[in-house]
Amino acid sequence: MSEPVRPATDRGSSLVPTLGFFSATMLVAGGVIGSGIFRKPGVMAAEIGSAGVLLGLWLVAGVVSILGAMSNAELAGMMPRSGGQYVFLRRAYGPFVAFLYGWSLLAVIQSGAIAALTYVFAEYSTRLIVLPEASAALAAFAIHVPLIGDVAPFRDLGIKCLATSVIVGLTIVNYLGVRFGGVVQNIFSLGKIAAMVGLAAAVLLAPGVGDVANLQVNSTLVHPTGLAWWIAVAGALQGAFWAYDGWHNVTYVGSELKNPQRDLPRSIILGILLVASLYLLMSTIYAYVLPIDVMAQSKLVAADVAERVFAGGGRWIAAAVMVSTFGAANAVILTSARVYFSMSRDDLLPATLGRAHPRYHTPASSLVMQAGWSLVLLFSGTFDTLTNTLIFVSWFFYVANASAVIVLRRREPDAPRPFRVPGYPWVPLVFVTFGLVYLVLTLANDVGAYRQAVAAGKPAMLNSGLGLALVLSGAPVYFYYRRRKSA
């Protein structure tokens, strides 16, 4: 049974409403647009081998994300408090499910995202500047961790040190006030949107750069059929959904919006619509310029497209990726700490994480703890492995969150709902159905890759199984704090 959630003002200093509608929308758009739209199209093209299907998958992922965003918007209007989906899941399913969600964010999903985004930022900086590196002997030092692989803390040391400075710097920015963090978010969100629109305009204005026929050409090398086609679709959708991920982050700062009941639903929907429009524009531009087999060989599609338009386009795109990942990292750092803040206020994490700074009115301790754990993941070099394992688990929680709309409509029909999902119950039902099918296909893809690795005598890992184990590792922590609270 669900339990009431205490308001976020019952322990010491509280968070204050500072952010407006524009900042909330930029948090959605800026939190979603990272490096995915610049890097993933090539991987997706290699999976599916068809420009038409590739564009269709970007459209499907956008529509599904919009359906999920609308479901989230209803819950956000009902519960405009810090913690977002943690609060929604607690009210619908009780504290245990909500805690496992928050634990997943803390252990890997959001902390790993911070490590990954800042690493990509620093990685692309090497196209513009030279970073110092450790000696060959130090870089080769590694410790083997079962199920995870080799941990090499000093490999790519220059990249990791620059990423560290970004994590520390953005944590300080958000420590000093949510308004300060919001200003940084607005600037970098507008910067990445301008870069994407600028590249599209440059392609369309440059004569002879692309060919409409490329949009209809299939690969001569990749042509999966039958069940293999569906598994390839699931693999390609993973790339698209990874690029769309993050539209729910703004719900974590509900109590810091000036008018959360109005602005949370509006910003979620407008933000994801903006992102979907930009992604469809960019993916169409990529397919227009690059034949599908050329795209499949590209590690950074946007750079290859830019190089065909003007000299030095690759360096320009590298700078655009840096702006994009910097803004996305800021969004994750700003929003995610509020989840741990709310969990602490519910006596499910150490009390210090639930204290707001008396002067800056930010979740200062949660921000510091989040930065520290993100740095551990960064230097371990395991963030990519760990976040890949949790794709399955992340979608389980997305499905649970959309289902919460139906659960709460039935359990609390008279609860105030400033925003109601249009087309209820079909919108959340379609999202839930798609999510379940996607989970099955992802599991099939995972099992297939595991069997192939075993047959080839290579190290094998069942990503979904490891992800589930990482999530359930939070159960002892939950029961410890529940027992202490009862005592």
- Tens digit of each residue's pLDDT (9 = 90 or more) over 71-130: 999 999 899 888 889 999 999 999 999 999 999 999 888 998 899 899 989 988 988 888
pTM for the whole thing?
0.89
What type of residue sits at position 327?
G
Q: What is the pLDDT of residue 2?
A: 45
Determine the pLDDT at residue 440. 85
CATH architecture of 21-486: Up-down Bundle (1.20)
Amino acid present at 283: S
Cβ contact 194:278 at 8 Å = no
Q: pLDDT class for 183, splitting at 50, 70, 90?
A: very high
d(CA 339, CA 103): 10
Task: Give CA–CA dist 90/3, Å, rounded.
Answer: 7
Cβ burial of 3 (10 Å; 0-12, 13-18, 19+) is exposed
| pLDDT tens per residue, range 224-280 | 878 788 888 888 888 888 889 888 888 898 888 889 888 889 999 999 999 999 999
Q: Name the band, by pLDDT with cuts 50, 70 and 90, for residue 57.
A: very high
pLDDT over threshold 90, residue 380: no
Confidence of residue 9 (pLDDT cuts 50, 70, 90): very low
Mean pLDDT value across residues 277-289: 94
User: With left for phi above 0 and alpha for psi between -120 and 50, is residue 456 left, alpha or beta?
Assistant: alpha
Locate 372 and state its tokens. 């520290």
* Per-residue pLDDT reduced to its tens digit, 199-214: 999 999 888 888 888 8
pLDDT exceeds 80 at position 462: no
SS3 79: coil
**According to the model, what pLDDT value does residue 284 have?**
94
Cα–Cα distance, 186 to 188 (Å, whole number): 6
Chain segment 383-410, per-residue pLDDT in tens: 666 666 777 788 889 999 999 999 999 9
- The pLDDT of residue 460 is above 90: no
Q: What is the mean pLDDT of residues 420-429?
A: 93
Which structure tokens are listed for 275? 């992102």
* Least reliable range by pLDDT among 49-53, 190-194, 216-220, 319-323: 216-220
Q: Is the pLDDT of residue 52 over 50?
A: yes
Distance CA 346, CA 8 (A): 9
Specify the pLDDT at position 154: 80
Contacts of 234 (CB under 8 A, 6+ apart): 438, 441, 442, 444, 445
**Residue 171's pLDDT band (cuts 50, 70, 90):** very high
Query: What number is the average pLDDT over the span 433-447?
Result: 84
CA distance 96 to 483: 13
pLDDT at residue 149 greater than cutoff 80 = no
The mean pLDDT of 303-314, rounded to a whole number, is: 86
Q: Is 272 helix (H, G, I), strand (E, B) or coil?
A: helix
What's the token pair of residue 467?
Answer: 């992800």
373: alpha, beta or left, given left = phi > 0 and alpha = psi -120 to 50?
alpha
The mean of the pLDDT values for the chain is 87
The Cα 169–Cα 166 span in angstroms is 5
Element (DSSP H or E) covering residue 149: strand 149-151
Poorest-confidence range of 56-65, 238-247, 329-338, 409-418?
238-247
Q: Which residue's entry shows tokens 């371990």?
A: 380
CA distance 175 to 152: 30
Contact in structure between 62 and 269 (CB atoms under 8 Å): no
Per-residue model confidence (pLDDT) at position 459:
65
Query: Residue 1 pLDDT > 50, yes or no?
Result: no
Handedness of CA 360, 361, 365, 367 (dihedral sign): negative
DSSP H helices, 381-425, are 383-389, 391-411
> Could you tell me whether strands 143-145 and 149-151 are parallel, antiparallel, or unpaired per DSSP bridges?
antiparallel
